[in-house]
Amino acid sequence: MTMTILLVEKEESNARLITKIIADHYPLATIECLKTNQAVKMWLNTAVLPDLVLCEVELQDGLIFEVFQEFNPVFPVIFMSAYDKYWSQSMVFNGIDYLRKPIGEEEVNRVLDKYESLNVHFLKRFSAENNSKNTKNVFHKDRLIAKKGTNYYVVLTSEIAFIYTEARMVFLIDRKGERYTVERSLSELEIELPSREFFRVNRKFIVHINAILSFKPSFKGKIALELLHLAKAEVSISQENAAQFKKWIEE
C-alpha cells in the first residue's frame, strides 16, 4: 500500500522544496501538486481521498477554506500561511499543524514526523484492539518478501540487520550484508515488524536489536548508533526518541 499526499502551493520554489522533502520522507508516496482552489475541487471530486494534505491558505482564487467548507476534510491537513490570523480557522478543518512562511526544511520534517507519530499511534491502537480479539498477532511478521534484481526472496525477520530508505527506495540489509529492495514503506514495516526486536530510530532507519554493535551520546542529546555492516557510519536517534530507545533496548 502506498500513500497519496496532496500538496497545494502556489509558489513554485516552495512546491519544489516541500515535494523533495516529502519524497525523502516517504519514498513510496504518490505526491499530487496543485495550485488553485478550482484544481483542488476537481481533484477531490474525481480522485481517491489523500492520506495527508499540505496546503497554502491563500491561493490565487481565494482561501482554501472555501473548498473545505464544501468538501469537509476527513483527512489530516497541514496548513501554511505567511500570517497567524488563519490559525484558529484552520483547526476546524482537521488541521494537525500550522506552518508560518517562509518555511524551511526543518519545519517540514517536523510536521511530517508529527503526522507519522500520530499515524503510528492509531495503527498501534488498532493492532492492540485487534489482537485482544485474536490471540494470533496478524501484524507482526516473521518473514518479508524482498527483491534482488528480478528475483524475489523470503527473508526471515530474524535475519534482518536493518531497513532504510534512500533515493525514494526502501532497502533491506540482512545479517550477511546482502542488500534487497522492499516494496513497502517504513511506516507500514514499523507496525508489522516485532516491536521487541525492531526499533524505528529515525525517519530513514529501522534496526534490529542484534544489529546494534554499540551506541553513545551525541550532539544535542542525540544517540549515535554503530550498526552491523555500517561500522564506519553513525545512525543517529533524535533527542525526542532517545529515552524511548533506552527503554526499548533494556526490555
Residue 2, helix vs strand vs coil: coil
Q: Is 75 exposed, middle or buried (0-12, 13-18, 19+ CB in 10 A)?
A: middle
Same domain, 164 and 231: yes
Given this model, what pLDDT does residue 205 score? 92
Of the three residues 89, 121, 153, the one that is the final residue of a domain is: 121
Decide if 127 is inside a domain: no
- State the Cα–Cα distance between residues 17 and 13, nearest whole angstrom: 6
Given this model, what pLDDT does residue 231 score? 65
Q: What is the CATH number of the domain that holds 149?
A: 2.40.50.1020
SS3 labels along 35-94: CCHHHHHHHHHHCCCCCEEEEECEECCEECHHHHHHCCCCCCEEEEECCCCCHHHHHHCC
Same domain, 168 and 236: yes
DSSP label at residue 159: G
Measured distance between the N- and C-terminal CA atoms of the chain, rounded to whole angstroms: 31
- State the Cα–Cα distance between residues 46 and 145, nearest whole angstrom: 33
Given this model, what pLDDT does residue 134 score? 47
pLDDT tens across the length of the chain (251 residues): 468 999 999 999 999 999 999 988 887 788 999 999 999 999 988 767 899 999 999 999 999 999 999 988 889 999 999 999 999 999 999 999 999 999 999 899 889 888 887 877 666 555 555 554 444 444 578 899 999 999 999 999 999 999 998 877 899 999 999 999 998 888 888 888 988 899 998 888 999 999 999 998 887 788 999 999 886 667 888 777 888 898 898 87
Given this model, what pLDDT does residue 136 score? 42
| Phi, psi at 86, each rounded to 5° | -95, 0
Given this model, what pLDDT does residue 113 score? 84
Given this model, what pLDDT does residue 161 score? 96
Q: What is the CATH number of the domain that holds 71?
A: 3.40.50.2300
Which range of residues forms the domain containing residue 114? 4-121
* C-beta of residue 200 within 8 angstroms of C-beta of residue 186: yes
Total domains in the fold of the chain? 2
Decide if 232 is inside a domain: yes
Same domain, 153 and 91: no
In the numeric block, the cell 534487497 is attached to 180
Given this model, what pLDDT does residue 123 score? 63
| Phi, psi at 140, each rounded to 5° | -80, 115
SS3 labels along 96-151: EEEEECCCCHHHHHHHHHHHHHHHHHHHHHHHHHHHHHCCCCCCCCCEEEEEECCE
142 contact partners, CB below 8 Å, separation of at least 6: 156, 157, 158, 194
Decide if 45 is inside a domain: yes
Q: What is the pTM of this model?
A: 0.61
